[in-house]
Amino acid sequence: MKLVIASDIHGAAHWCERLMKAVEDERPDRVILLGDLLYHGPRNDLPADYAPKRVIEMLNAIAPQVIAVRGNCEAEVDQMVLDFPCMATNNSLLDPATGSTLFLTHGHVYGPGLHGSVDNLPQLRKGDALVYGHTHVKVNEVGPNGIWLFNPGSVGIPKDGTHSFGVYEDGHFEHRILGDA
């Protein structure tokens, strides 16, 4: 099972285009979107190339591949324009190769308490993974009780200046930096 994992696009069309190219290159089984897809939110500056309508078109073009969860910036109107469900607080995937569960969430309801995420871990077993966004900070480390913690960083408004996404394959998570070309 190969997944592309992205979060916090925040309507940044240029970086969403880079993500769509990465999806094309990576050829994943599914694309995981961890929320905050269209709106920049009141705490963030307007991202460069802010064009939510263009982001809608790009994300709808891959809708059959998408599993999405709701971020703190999503609203009901987002569901009206996106062709995939995006209003669930969390979702889960089972990796049949490893038997581990990937718990997918944004990070404002469930999270490990790192970098401004809420400190509210879901019930997971050792070897399972909490996959979250929200903080715009990349994380790839073992957490409490042997739960793996993975945050792909942010596509649109990264805190460290590197626009990024993640890949999950063969039971391992990796970060990828989106190039500008």
For residue range 140-149, list pLDDT tens digits in order: 999 999 999 9
Give the pLDDT confidence score for residue 23 in this predicted structure. Answer: 98
180 versus 154: the higher-pLDDT residue is 154
Give the pLDDT confidence score for residue 48 in this predicted structure. Answer: 84
pTM of the model: 0.96
Would you say residue 181 has pLDDT above 60? no
| Choice among 10-19, 23-32, 45-54 with the minimum mean pLDDT | 45-54
Instruction: Kindly report the length of the chain.
Output: 181
Burial (Cβ within 10 Å: 0-12, 13-18, ≥19) of residue 81: middle
Q: Go through 109-138 and write b for each residue having 16 or more CB atoms within 10 A of its CB, e for each that does not.
A: bbbbebeebbeebeebeebbbbbbbbbbbb
Q: Where are the beta strands (DSSP E) in the chain?
A: 2-6, 30-33, 66-68, 90-94, 101-105, 111-112, 119-120, 129-131, 138-142, 148-152, 164-169, 172-177
- What is the rounded CA–CA span in Å between residue 94 and residue 6? 18
Single out the residue of 94, 17, 1, 103 nearest to residue 62, CA to CA: 17
CB 133 within 8 A of CB 156: no
Q: What is the dihedral of CA 42, 175, 89, 87, to 10 degrees?
A: 70
Mean pLDDT of 72-90: 96
Mean pLDDT of 38-56: 90
Single out the residue of 15, 45, 49 nearest to residue 165, CA to CA: 15
Would you say residue 18 has pLDDT above 70? yes
For residue range 84-125, list pLDDT tens digits in order: 999 999 999 999 999 999 999 999 999 999 888 899 999 999
Query: Do strands 30-33 and 172-177 pair parallel, antiparallel, or not at all (unpaired)?
Result: unpaired
Mean pLDDT of 7-25: 97
- What is the rounded CA–CA span in Å between residue 27 and residue 11? 23
Domain boundaries, the chain: 2-172
Would you say residue 17 has pLDDT above 60? yes
- What is the band of 44 on the pLDDT scale with cuts at 50, 70, 90? confident
Look at domain 2-172 and name its CATH class.
alpha beta
Would you say residue 55 has pLDDT above 70? yes
